[in-house]
């Protein structure tokens, strides 16, 4: 889901008759679709009370095309607001290009024409610009022919993402909606480029393409288990744990550091736990040194945001 928030931008301090303007917009980024749209609000204080005010709203898309609309407020009070929604209030305008859009608001009446506010917003293909592994990526774009065949590409600098490129058909209105159900946990981290290419509508010069970032994903570890609660020096302890992703799938790749602290609270040993298919868990082993403290040792999983702790006892009557 796209997060909507209001953001205010300080603009021209005053108009021709001492008006003060402040401007806000509902979001800074939307997808290439007419809905949800973006709303712009101009607040005007200290106008010429009792007369009529008119404002021009002009949006320039990435191709340089200009769409305009006007609003009028009659017999204005001492403070008032006026607003428009893009593209809803701009005639038959459709959002069909990715990139930066600019908006300029001008007071046209009473004259002289005065620029009241300027701002910009971004249009993208995806519902976010940053994801964690295992999350879904939803894309939407329009401006294609009815049932046009569209190639969907997702690439990193090292090659195609698993399952891409692929193809889908636009709907009867020329809109493509597609969801990459889950980013595989094994894909490399970093920047990826999503590109849509129509078989009949190439969008020459202004392609449907954008980048997004894939970050590491948090995993949940329910318990760090041990095979023996009491050991003697030179014996080996086995550590096991399971990890799940936010989508409830079990983690079966990667590794984790298990940190072991001896009974003195200072001496530290680190081992690496990796996934073992035979036991269906991550597993690491550690052999108790011949010269080590007796007492209660503590093991914990490090380098993961969710840490599970478990203590085990090293026998006080260990053999020399």
In a domain, 241, yes or no: yes
Interior angle at CA 169, CA 164 and CA 173, nearest 5: 140
Distance CA 320, CA 56 (A): 89
pLDDT in tens, 216-271: 888 888 789 999 999 999 999 999 999 998 888 888 888 889 999 999 999 999 99
Asked if residue 318 has pLDDT above 80, the reply is: no
Q: Residue 76's domain spans which residues? A: 7-124
The predicted model gives 12-41 an average pLDDT of 92
Flag whether 319 is in a domain: no
Domains contained in the chain, number: 3
Q: Of 203, 270, 262, which is closest to residue 239 (Cα–Cα)?
A: 270
Confirm whether 162 is domain-assigned. Answer: yes
Whole-prediction pTM:
0.80
Is residue 187 located within the same domain as residue 240? no
Q: To which H or E segment does residue 277 belong?
A: none
pLDDT at 33: 97
Verify that 248 and 279 share a domain, yes or no: yes
- Judge if 102 and 44 occupy the same domain: yes
Residue (of 58, 59, 140) closest to 107 by Cα position: 58
| pLDDT above 50: residue 307 | no
pLDDT of residue 123: 98
Query: Is residue 70 a contact partner of residue 48, using CB atoms and an 8 Å limit?
Result: no
- Tens digit of pLDDT for each residue in 182-207? 999 889 999 999 999 999 998 989 99
Domain boundary among 185, 215, 245: 215
Residue 256: which CATH number?
A: 2.60.40.1930
Q: Are 142 and 176 in contact (CB under 8 A)?
A: yes
């Amino acid at each position: 889901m796209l997060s909507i928030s209001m953001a205010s931008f300080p603009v021209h301090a005053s108009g021709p008759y001492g008006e003060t303007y402040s401007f806000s917009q509902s979001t800074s980024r939307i997808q290439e679709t007419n809905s949800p749209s973006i709303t712009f609000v101009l607040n005007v204080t200290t106008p010429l009370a009792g007369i009529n005010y008119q404002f021009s709203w002009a949006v320039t898309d990435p191709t340089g095309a200009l769409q305009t609309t006007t609003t009028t407020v009659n017999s204005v009070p001492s403070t008032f607001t006026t607003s428009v929604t893009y593209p809803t209030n701009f005639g038959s305008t459709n959002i069909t290009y990715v990139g930066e859009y600019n908006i300029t608001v001008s007071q046209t009446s009473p004259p002289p024409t005065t620029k009241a506010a300027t701002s910009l917003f971004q249009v993208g293909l995806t519902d976010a610009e940053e994801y964690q592994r295992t999350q879904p990526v939803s894309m939407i774009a329009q401006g294609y022919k009815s049932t046009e065949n569209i190639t969907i590409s997702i690439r990193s600098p090292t090659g195609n993402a698993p399952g891409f490129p692929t193809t889908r058909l636009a709907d009867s209105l020329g809109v493509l909606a597609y969801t990459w159900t889950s980013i595989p946990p094994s894909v490399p981290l970093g920047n990826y480029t999503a590109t849509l290419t129509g078989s009949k509508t190439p969008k020459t010069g202004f392609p449907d393409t954008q980048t997004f970032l894939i970050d590491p994903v948090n995993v949940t570890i329910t318990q760090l288990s041990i095979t023996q609660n009491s050991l003697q020096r030179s014996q080996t302890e086995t550590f096991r744990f399971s990890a799940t992703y936010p989508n409830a799938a079990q983690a079966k790749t990667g590794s984790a550091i298990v940190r072991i602290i001896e009974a003195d609270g200072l001496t530290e040993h680190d081992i690496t736990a990796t996934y073992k298919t035979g036991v269906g868990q991550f597993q690491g082993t550690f052999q108790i040194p011949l010269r080590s403290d007796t007492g209660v040792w503590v093991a914990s999983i490090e380098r993961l945001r969710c840490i599970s702790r478990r203590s085990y006892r090293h026998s006080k009557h260990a053999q020399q």
